[in-house]
């Protein structure tokens, strides 16, 4: 039941916050601690007939630590980047370079499941 409620919040993020369009390339960057949120976002993207790519990395040790190089390269190819991660990657070179190349991002650092169910979303 919780997955269903999270799905609704994920749909709102993609539809209202991201204004996701058909055929856009979506990269969902997550870590081992936030996979459930990435799963909800992935399900919502698939329901919108988009093929998301999910990038799972070990949790970063501190905010601002760069993601692995392969992740950084993938982010540069995305139209939309979603980052449900436990430590922020918002101000990393990887995100900065992806945005400079035209990617847009919704940073979900330290985001928790309940935020997909109730509150501002």
Structural domain of 71? 2-117
Report the CATH number at residue 83.
3.40.50.2300
Total-model pTM: 0.94
Q: What is the 3-state secondary structure (H, E, C) of the chain?
A: CHHHHHHHHHHHHHHHHCCCCCCCCEEEEEECCCHHHHHHHHHHHHHCCCCEEEEEECCCCCCCCCCCHHHHHHHCCCCEEEECCCCCCCCCHHHHHHHHCCCEEEECCCCCHHHHHCCCC
- 40-87 pLDDT per residue, tens: 999 999 999 999 999 999 999 999 999 999 999 999 999 999 999 999
- 97-116 pLDDT per residue, tens: 999 999 999 999 989 999 99
State yes or no: pLDDT of 24 exceeds 90. yes
**Number of domains forming the structure of the chain:** 1
């Amino acid at each position: 039941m919780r997955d269903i409620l999270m799905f609704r919040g994920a749909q709102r993020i993609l539809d209202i916050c991201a204004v996701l369009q058909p055929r856009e390339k979506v990269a969902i960057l997550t870590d081992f601690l936030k996979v459930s949120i990435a799963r909800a976002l992935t399900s919502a993207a698939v329901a919108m007939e988009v093929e998301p790519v999910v990038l799972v990395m070990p949790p970063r040790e501190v905010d601002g630590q760069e993601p692995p190089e392969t992740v950084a390269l993938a982010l540069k190819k995305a139209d939309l980047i979603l980052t449900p991660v436990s430590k922020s990657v918002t101000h990393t070179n990887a995100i900065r370079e992806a945005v400079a190349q035209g990617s847009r991002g919704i940073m979900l650092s330290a985001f928790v499941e309940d935020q997909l169910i109730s509150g501002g979303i």
